[in-house]
Amino acid sequence: MRFKAKYPVIVALFALSLHAQVKVEKATWHGWSDAVILKNAVAAVVIVPSIGRVMNFSFLDARGQPGEGPLWNNRDMDGQPVAPASSQWGNFGGDKSWPALQSEWPNIQHRGWPPPVGFDAAVDLVEINGTEVTLT
């Protein structure tokens, strides 16, 4: 019974130590001056609100900076703004969070491609509250 009584305390202390290790930094990343980097001792996530994308998820390199991760990035688009009026889709790479199935886009905008402007060619507002980052 002693072990069971101590176990929740150990889990709670471990969770608190992980939460305390998370840092949120504002930075310039690949030409975007509004990047937000969430990182702990080993990994990082890079969010770029001005293009509405998560651009990197990776381990930290030897200098403690985000390394190369599995998300493809279009280096030709580094630092470029979104262009909602453009006839060409701006493929920045990274990860997109489209709030509707692609198969439903014709019902929303009467065409299948490119994505609706509000889904993929809009600037997100960012709010940082401690170690929480909210994009709207």
pLDDT the model gives residue 6: 43
Residue 50 contacts residue 91 (beta carbons within 8 Å): no
Least Cα distance to 116 among 133, 91, 99 occurs for 99
Give 39's strand partners: 23, 44
Could you tell me which of 56, 75, 54, 74 has the C-alpha nearest to residue 65?
56
Is the bond preceding 84 in cis, omega lying within 30 degrees of 0? no
CB 35 within 8 A of CB 28: yes
SS3 60: strand
Task: Identify the weakest region by mean pLDDT among 22-26, 79-83, 102-106.
Answer: 102-106
The percent of residues above 90 in pLDDT, for the chain, comes to 57
φ, ψ (nearest 5 deg) of residue 79: 75, -5
Tokens linked to 32: 């975007």
Which is more confident, 121 or 65? 65
pLDDT for residue 94 is more than 60: yes
Q: What is the pLDDT of residue 11?
A: 47
- The single-letter code of the amino acid at 91 is N
- Evaluate if residue 77 carries a pLDDT over 70: yes
Question: Which tokens belong to 77?
Answer: 């688009």
Neighbours of 78 (CB within 10 A): 14
